[in-house]
Structure 1
């Protein structure tokens, strides 16, 4: 192992040595080296930024807390140490000192942390008038957290809510920050990686399905292409008041991701190995039984006293000796990273291989990722950094597409009518052995590259230029081989052979320039910080696909071999150019006032609308640093407030008049009207007022952050029916609507026990969000599937008839049936024969959050647990509704013993009403035990240090608002329809696989 270590180190030192390091006559310079530890626990602290004041020199501590700074001139050196969650540290040391031990004291809130705000110089937390959430990804991983990037972000940031993805390896969910901000556009935030805006599509199709892939097995989120192991930190900018400088498309918030950087010193190596298992808990009993009154032979049916038959296909398979299709998937990770360098050149390299398997044998994902980050500092005034990340993945899903390419439904709707069919054995539509023959796949190739040149020509001026691009290609497909049985097989006409393939290439590129000038003004300790900048952004999407049907021979096939072929192609381009200016005044580094403007032009704006201006005003006051402040229990107190605007651009072609190609008479090409367009179309504008405070109490044992926000979406884009006299059909997009989102956010942390042997910390975040459709511009209520956009009610309000009560008379007839009346009917109750859909609640959670706790004991052991929760909304389970009223194969509907359910079926008639549930749950999301290797154990592997972590995810529900209706339980109450642009907060869900439970062991070794 030692020889291997020397070989790796020699290779990296050779790389560094190859860089120019100056003339040979450079005089001998001193070094300082040491370790940074926690003042409370003595544990080494990784990722602390150690800088030499007055110079551009600085490094980050390695995983063992050590640092090395070379090129020190002079007899003494002033070191400044900064780490999220700890007090800033400044001290003078002798040059050449190799025994430095820096002890950092923990702080509940960090007022001096530098956050990315869109300007060239960044800003300290104390100067910002809005809340910006920070997540130290390195610390989160060391604490034992696991999962995809989305999963790690969710529950750690207040105000951020993610629709849970299904148990389909390779899928994800859509994210929202502070609610639904648009009726026709998406509500996903902008995402930047190292200054480059990336593709964050969270509703990508599965299996090239051009229908709604979100109901057929889940959607794919491009955010989960990111490797958490490569990420240093994440900052979440939550709303228009904070995101003004990001301009158009930033009204839904911004996520800033910073990847890991190199350090000065010898190469530091980290090896990571993860071995785990993925499985479906309670795999057999979670599926409700199917009932009927059939008379065909059914050997594994149970005949109830009422004469109704009960059938469970999985238990039937077990009784027949076939077993069940669920298995234990093997999850694996193998990673390596190295960081090091000199004062001139610093580097970070990493490579990782992941293989994750689902709980059915044909669901898996192979992922290969690599990163190379370089930073060159020729002198104290100039730094040049380059960052490049590469990803290649291939996923095969356990379903995706129209019926019958659906696995969950085959279990859920298992039928006793086919129990004796030797081919189906009671499975509905598609049995698992047929699903195994269908390939539903996605392949990803992606490169995210950026470069930044930062220049400090004068002590008062810093400017930088950042440029880069996200190059992504996704190839998705679905292939059904030709069966010897032809269309008589399980997939109908598709069993004659069917193949679809779609390639979606997305290139996003931006160039940003920013400059910040700082001056001390000659009165009252005032400092002026003036920032200006410009940004150019372009996004190009090229999508094409082909469909082939009817292969010439049994087995798989291609589009070219199919007898019937069709194809399509789309190309979309969008460009934005923006300018900003910001002025920030500070008094004694305690009181801050900021005014900013951002102006944008975007190619999607209508021809008659050229430019939009977004203003911002904010202020903050560190009250605890004032001389008159004398509350001994309060260590830090910062008050903050902000008002600002940011935008959301229209869809690329929404403003354009479009014509569609057709085949005219004589097979000649022609055109027909398609979309009328709107030359006056402009962006939606998010306007937000935010007020709050941050405080630390009781010797920094307690930290609290509190925020109240009120966000209006003005000029909301609504689809208006087109007059037939225009010669165009369909709708026209117009800026006539207004939406409102309001709520509170609380973030709190506390150290419950602080001793030499045990430390116990707890964290809590909680947020509320209440939306309202304020104005539809005189347009009628917008009706969707089970929901409406109606003035005065939440966005996507659930509307279904509500049977309040009913009874049976002696002859079994329904009597005394009462249904909730609409306001137009005068409210109260009406006979159910007069029932109309009524408001049943909001369709997305109105409150959500998480609780985490960490207990460190015996110096080297740490237990971590995370519970997340959400509630306060209404959803419609298509599974339950269809079972009761559409297919009528539930016990309750067949035995006809519940008068309320019978009234729904026999009087009202709308089958969706039987699936209405209260949405809400609390789940033990993560539990882990970590052991930091002692020096003695680490030395056995020739290592400088490391850790061993055993973690589990998606363990069990602690609380459920409602688990089912009329005695029939959902397969998983966490499942809900994904939020997408066309149906925000959609409430209907069906045929999604439950989330998997995962257990893994991760070993990290440092060299």
Structure 2
């Protein structure tokens, strides 16, 4: 549903654009006209590094105040044709990593002028041009807020397969959260933590000015894929990241999470340039999943297990067998891409295509029988075809028309992901080898060894899966996604004269994904699973469309000799429409039927969501002598999700930037450049599309259909508003060979949307979203980079960055604490006043009194003295003495029957509310560098880290250590249980085992205990070695350049975390239009039967023609 006020908001938006045109046109009358172009006139030259003399490729050479320009080739040369004739034509060159430089040359009719440039390396890039929402390119030094820029030119050799990997470890404050180690699983992106408690925290994504789908999708419980990954990384020229409200105010509602702007490559004047990239990768899992362990209770079982696993065993002798590795193989990825770019005076173009095929490191082959059809089993495959076209037309000197389009077709076959009891990986970790048997429920026995792996040729349980399903049954599911993703934009820019720039963009982003989950008839091949033995199939179609309309006008003028002004007026609107259609069928009459209509039980559903946002904005930027800059602006927004009485919302901004080093007389060498900056701004986040409405749900009965109360509704619902203040500096050191930047920011989220329970006497029992909460946060961002050595045949540059984050829930407006994952007790994250959102709470066991400084005040919940234990076998509420415990342990005992004393420090009769950590680290960042040897060799490294009170919820090992039915299958737990149960064990041996049990016991009634563990880590994220062959060798195959690259990703992990991987997360990217986002926001750092992040070894060849 769309409010009429939102429909009307497009009219004033158009009026604003008309006003901008009218005001600008009034000023054009007295403007000076540009010099005419000269037929045959040109400028050419060479761009080199001043220190080493190396030619510099891909430098952007522009004619100031025109649309003309060119890029240097591998020899550092350029040529710009048909330039304006005149005695003082200004030429400017920019290149990432170097200081900008300008020259003035005289151009005569029909002649070629020359302008050579010797650029000096500069770690500080204050002259870098960025786009900030106004539509006008602006130098970084004029902004009071930070805009991080990631340029892909220096990352051509990095082992990057998708845009998420492009963003990872590049800039402080941007966190990329992988959801798992399976092929095609998408990552979530967080900028400066969380800006909402209940709504999506995904940043807004723009591709060439068009708002894009920033959500994800999954099939049949498989890991979520992300629509961000649909973008071809080789087509990206640069990424700009606006961090938070102070930077993203002009983007309006939803921009409080930050904005990611992706700019794809465009052509430039000159002959066609071709590039071809070919790569082959090997993908392997690191050995971080502990083997399965067990023991036989008697000699007969020991003999049976010995035959299955090829061992000689005795009763109560623990042994190990790694079941998970039976699902692993070496995966591979083949990627091929090609592009061509070029242009003439009036037209430039860029066209690229990319093909990717990945068969991941999961396999069903090792556990399947020879009669199984491999294509019908679970697999991890990714097929993706991508195309990009960019066309820019300059019909006149004053008009530029651009057309950009991106199209992706993909197919992703996945497997059920984390926390699914039917997932192959969960079943492999649940497996208890001591329960293995090839005596099926039908009484038949059949054991064989194929490829060295024991298999039951008939029904059976060769790995010891005790509940839910067998490992072989778990791979019967097929889960896949088919989809297309199209993004297209048409933009026009009109510069009637030098001072005025008018621009408009219209674009469409459309995704269409079909997700299918299918269990065939008779999938319970081991007669264990009862989930759907007769088969089931579900089909979910999801179509998401984003329409963007954006108009802007910029007027730049001088106010006397001291001041420069840039006034921006604009209007922007977007409309998001999402349609879903779902159908399922269960219990097929026989094999070979794989359509939902064949099921005995069928169901269907559909959904429709439309959200419209429209706003208009104004901004004035004033500069004084080109070293002091002030900016003031505001945006006024309407949104269809706002309540009827809420109206619109105003988001103001104010910033200042001072560059004292640009003032005359600054001659310091050590502190070569300095910029001081500060900014304040507001942005918001709208509620869900239907949260404001009072709704009723259908109720079907044998007597007919009816309605029941569903959503209470709230006509006063308004956006939650974030106010962010940031301040900092950039300093260029040692002639700008090094740069140090620092930012401190603070953020207040008011009117936070919280689900509150209202009296159910009105018939509405569900919670209603209300603006009652508050979330505060602050942080620090630091970055240091520099060129240590720069010689003709040797160069070294290094970088390091880090960001600190602190978040606190100030108020829930009277609502009780909100538990992540609802009533599921084993997930221990809470949104609770006074704590970090998602903070972990759980049971605390009695600790030694000697571990407290003052037990009387510090151990209010209880402790035990010397000679006592934390056990309470007689259940008198007091610690048992060692003698009492030894008496109990004189006989065999199951660990389940050992009773531990739980502390109650606050005396509220609750044992599971002790704070145990937070899922967000205090610090995260990266460090690394590049080494260049001669002209041919280049070595690049990136290391990433998280540290400081970073806590991971390790449910995997909690189950594997403590669950009597699904676990106790790690070697430590198996030894403890074997010792306690073995009649031959002595009381002393059992007592020692009971002490070891204190470090393993978990799960109810000890939820949280031994579950939340330190997760600090350092990971060798990227390494690449590039060899550029001599030109003579490349020319033999018709190429102007040939580079060979050997690279690796996620090569080494250093961590104290004992679980699978400190980066694994249960949740992936979800549908961002859903209003229920609490779990997706704060169910982080959760290791729930996930897989380690795989290593990827890549060899590639890159050719340029």
What is the Cα deviation at residue 417 of structure 1? 4.0
Structure 1 match to 2:882: 809
User: How does 1:465-480 map onto structure 2 within 5 Å?
Assistant: 465-480=504-519
Residue 737 (structure 1) aligned with residue 773 (structure 2): yes
**3-state secondary structure, aligned to 1:992:** coil
**Using the alignment, how far apart are the partners of 1:842 and 1:222 within structure 2?**
29
Range moving further from structure 2, 929-938 or 151-160: 929-938
What is the Cα deviation at residue 905 of structure 1? 4.8
**3-state secondary structure, aligned to 1:492:** coil
| Alignment CA distance shift 1:740-1:854 (3 Å) | same
What is the Cα deviation at residue 232 of structure 1? 0.1
Structure 1 match to 2:929: 853
- Check the 8 A contact 2:585/2:602 in 1, yes or no: yes
Structure 1 match to 2:793: 757
Structure 1 match to 2:123: 108
Structure 2 match to 1:481: 520
| TM-score, structure 2 as length reference | 0.82
2:1090 to 975, 992, 996: 992
User: How does 1:755-904 map onto structure 2 within 5 Å?
Assistant: 755-784=791-820, 785-803=827-845, 804-805=847-848, 806=869, 809-810=882-883, 811-812=885-886, 821-824=904-907, 835-871=911-947, 872-887=949-964, 888-889=967-968, 890=970, 891-892=972-973, 894=977, 895=979, 897-899=993-995, 901-902=997-998
1:47 to 44, 58, 61: 58
What is the Cα deviation at residue 985 of structure 1? 2.3
**Using the alignment, how far apart are the partners of 1:766 and 1:953 within structure 2?**
20
User: How does 1:461-860 map onto structure 2 within 5 Å?
Assistant: 461-483=500-522, 489=527, 491-522=529-560, 525-555=562-592, 557-627=594-664, 629-664=666-701, 666-667=703-704, 669-784=705-820, 785-803=827-845, 804-805=847-848, 806=869, 809-810=882-883, 811-812=885-886, 821-824=904-907, 835-860=911-936
2:143 to 103, 114, 128: 128
Write the deviation string for residues 616-675 of structure 1: whole angstroms up to 9, x where unpaired: 1100000112235453311110000001100011011111111112224523x3222110
| Alignment CA distance shift 1:436-1:834 (3 Å) | closer
**Using the alignment, how far apart are the partners of 1:903 and 1:278 within structure 2?**
35
**Using the alignment, how far apart are the partners of 1:420 and 1:799 within structure 2?**
40
The answer to which structure has the higher strand fraction is 1
**Using the alignment, how far apart are the partners of 1:435 and 1:99 within structure 2?**
70
Write the deviation string for residues 764-822 of structure 1: whole angstroms up to 9, x where unpaired: 11001110001111222223330221111111110011223445713436999776653
**Using the alignment, how far apart are the partners of 2:231 and 2:486 within structure 1?**
11
| Alignment CA distance shift 1:431-1:927 (3 Å) | farther
What is the Cα deviation at residue 550 of structure 1? 1.7
Residue 165 (structure 1) aligned with residue 204 (structure 2): no
**3-state secondary structure, aligned to 1:675:** coil
**3-state secondary structure, aligned to 1:653:** coil
Residue 390 (structure 1) aligned with residue 407 (structure 2): yes
**Using the alignment, how far apart are the partners of 1:638 and 1:598 within structure 2?**
27
Structure 2 match to 1:319: none
Residue 923 (structure 1) aligned with residue 1019 (structure 2): yes
| Root-mean-square deviation over aligned CA pairs | 2.6
**Using the alignment, how far apart are the partners of 2:311 and 2:751 within structure 1?**
60
**Using the alignment, how far apart are the partners of 2:808 and 2:315 within structure 1?**
48
What is the Cα deviation at residue 736 of structure 1? 0.6
Structure 2 match to 1:178: 192
**3-state secondary structure, aligned to 2:153:** helix
User: How does 1:395-410 map onto structure 2 within 5 Å?
Assistant: 395-400=412-417, 403=420, 405-410=422-427
**Using the alignment, how far apart are the partners of 1:367 and 1:458 within structure 2?**
45
What is the Cα deviation at residue 741 of structure 1? 1.2
Range moving further from structure 2, 433-442 or 720-729: 433-442
- Check the 8 A contact 2:418/2:1090 in 1, yes or no: no
| Alignment CA distance shift 1:391-1:275 (3 Å) | same
**Using the alignment, how far apart are the partners of 1:903 and 1:1004 within structure 2?**
53
User: How many residues are treated as equivalent by the alignment?
Assistant: 947
| Alignment CA distance shift 1:37-1:502 (3 Å) | farther
**Using the alignment, how far apart are the partners of 1:425 and 1:906 within structure 2?**
27
What is the Cα deviation at residue 904 of structure 1? 8.1
2:294 to 291, 296, 317: 291
Residue 340 (structure 1) aligned with residue 342 (structure 2): yes
1:254 to 241, 255, 259: 259
**3-state secondary structure, aligned to 1:324:** helix
1:942 to 1033, 1038, 1054: 1038
Structure 2 match to 1:380: 397
- Check the 8 A contact 1:262/1:341 in 2, yes or no: yes
What is the Cα deviation at residue 110 of structure 1? 1.2
Residue 196 (structure 1) aligned with residue 210 (structure 2): yes
Q: Is there any run of 5+ residues in structure 1 with no aligned partner, and where?
A: 1-25, 316-322, 826-832, 965-969
| Alignment CA distance shift 1:834-1:632 (3 Å) | same
| Alignment CA distance shift 1:235-1:427 (3 Å) | farther
- Check the 8 A contact 2:1002/2:1010 in 1, yes or no: no
- Check the 8 A contact 2:796/2:931 in 1, yes or no: yes
**3-state secondary structure, aligned to 1:914:** coil
**Using the alignment, how far apart are the partners of 2:1029 and 2:800 within structure 1?**
29
| Alignment CA distance shift 1:402-1:835 (3 Å) | closer
**Using the alignment, how far apart are the partners of 2:929 and 2:427 within structure 1?**
40
Structure 2 match to 1:280: 285
**Using the alignment, how far apart are the partners of 2:800 and 2:78 within structure 1?**
33
| Alignment CA distance shift 1:905-1:27 (3 Å) | closer
| Alignment CA distance shift 1:796-1:132 (3 Å) | same
- Check the 8 A contact 1:63/1:1006 in 2, yes or no: no
**Using the alignment, how far apart are the partners of 2:528 and 2:122 within structure 1?**
62
What is the Cα deviation at residue 708 of structure 1? 0.3
- Check the 8 A contact 1:276/1:1000 in 2, yes or no: yes
Write the deviation string for residues 222-241 of structure 1: whole angstroms up to 9, x where unpaired: 11111110000000000101
- Check the 8 A contact 1:311/1:415 in 2, yes or no: no
**3-state secondary structure, aligned to 2:1042:** strand
**3-state secondary structure, aligned to 2:405:** strand
Residue 963 (structure 1) aligned with residue 1057 (structure 2): yes
**Using the alignment, how far apart are the partners of 1:860 and 1:260 within structure 2?**
26
Write the deviation string for residues 872-927 of structure 1: whole angstroms up to 9, x where unpaired: 32121111111223335143352462437449859982243222201221101111
What is the Cα deviation at residue 855 of structure 1? 0.3
**Using the alignment, how far apart are the partners of 2:200 and 2:295 within structure 1?**
43
